[in-house]
A and B are shown apart, each in its own frame.
Chain A
């Protein structure tokens, strides 16, 4: 187990008063709180900060910790000195580190979660925690009703509700048709185990659509940017366009502007009741190199077409 220097984590001196500690915590909490921050690593960072604050805000805990701190250094291996007893072991499941639990018992999460109002309830049984995990789904997967294998971690408890680490669980789930970005799928009873006779928590899968190299998502509609040659845009004709379910031929009307959107009905993502549409966005591109002969042809065209795209500006 690694020693954690809670003062260092909060960025305060070892003799800081409670007010300083509180201010430091609040500042870091606002920065790293997973509900506020967008960074991937912020949740772990926040947990660390919350753990440090839980240890230092309580004078008794802080005194115990200060005593131990004489034996350890931040980031180094740490074993509690012989004969050390965790001060309280009567509470249930914690999401704090092993280091914290070894000093203070596993009273973290539930104690923080308004434990006082819970304590008069029977300690022997209560409902397991709900677990939430992200479920990345490829756009192609929303079309079929195949199942998907997911695995996630569950906290494990003994009969008294003491945390015994984590177990990995694997499930085969059917993705409901028409799921969209951000939606939550519930799997009843697949969360953390209940303590005593109480029910298990539920598992929530938070749907995340994996970004696609070609298609952008707009609700149930898809967008694809299709490059077209200048002459294709002017003359029109049939072009081949990829969709999630294979290529199709699209009729390009003559004189199509760059940025024009063409709708292909029913080729978007499946919705709860109907299919979304695919929008083709035209992007006119020119060849990277042209030979002398082609250059000549363009020159002739420029003279004959007499088109000034900036006409508006000279008025």
Chain B
């Protein structure tokens, strides 16, 4: 049996290395409030798996869509909101469909 873990902690350096992301960009993403790793200041920050995933996404957006590093926080923010709205929309649709009947005529 393989050990699984939900609570993982990675340092700023580790996240940047794994995501191929410049340190200052990750710092900017945190300062913009998109990621909130616990810890006082960059040296103490602890990132989890979901945060690593967002860091990787930032690197992909820069690489694949030529998005300037300075615009990355705004982009992440908007993509996050888009995802939330899509999820909410799906959930509400599903719940509504349990109440509504197909029109017969």
The complex places the Cα of A211 from the Cα of B99 at a distance, in Å, of 17
Given contacts A172-B2, A186-B49, contact A211 B63 (CB under 8 A): no
CB distance from A280 to the nearest CB of B (A): 12
CB distance from A282 to the nearest CB of B (A): 10
How many of chain B's residues touch chain A, expressed as a range? 20 to 34
Q: Can you list, as one digit per residue, whether each of A29-44 has a CB less than 8 Å from chain B (1) or not (0)? A: 1100101101000000
Could you say which of B3, B8, B95 contacts A216, with CB atoms under 8 Å apart? B95
> Is B74 interfacial (CB 8 A cutoff)?
no
Given contacts A130-B18, A172-B1, A216-B94, contact A185 B65 (CB under 8 A): no
| Interface of chain B, main secondary structure | helix
Q: Can you list, as one digit per residue, whether each of B1-19 has a CB less than 8 Å from chain A (1) or not (0)? A: 1111110100000000110
Is the Cβ of A184 less than 8 Å from the Cβ of B4?
Answer: no
Is the Cβ of A176 less than 8 Å from the Cβ of B6?
Answer: yes
Task: For chain A, residues 168 to 191, give those with C-beta under 8 angstroms from any C-beta of chain B.
Answer: 171-176, 179, 182-188, 190
Task: For chain A, residues 102 to 149, give those with C-beta under 8 angstroms from any C-beta of chain B.
Answer: 112-114, 127, 130, 132, 147
Which residues of chain B have C-beta atoms less than 8 A from A259's C-beta?
A: 99
| Total interface residues in chain A, CB < 8 Å | 41
Is the Cβ of B5 less than 8 Å from the Cβ of A185?
Answer: yes
Which residues of chain A have C-beta atoms less than 8 A from B4's C-beta?
A: 173-176, 185-187, 205
Given contacts A29-B65, A172-B2, contact A211 B50 (CB under 8 A): no
The complex places the Cα of A290 from the Cα of B10 at a distance, in Å, of 66
The complex places the Cα of A50 from the Cα of B60 at a distance, in Å, of 12
Q: 22 pairs across A/B with beta carbons < 8 Å?
A: A33-B65, A36-B79, A50-B64, A112-B63, A114-B63, A127-B17, A127-B18, A147-B1, A172-B2, A173-B1, A174-B1, A174-B3, A174-B4, A175-B4, A176-B4, A184-B53, A186-B6, A187-B5, A188-B3, A190-B2, A216-B91, A225-B98
Interface on A for B, CB 8 Å cutoff?
A: 26, 29-30, 33, 35-36, 38, 46, 50, 112-114, 127, 130, 132, 147, 171-176, 179, 182-188, 190, 204-205, 211, 216-218, 223, 225, 259, 283
Interface on B for A, CB 8 Å cutoff?
A: 1-6, 8, 17-18, 20, 49-50, 53, 57, 59-61, 63-66, 79, 86, 91, 94-95, 98-99
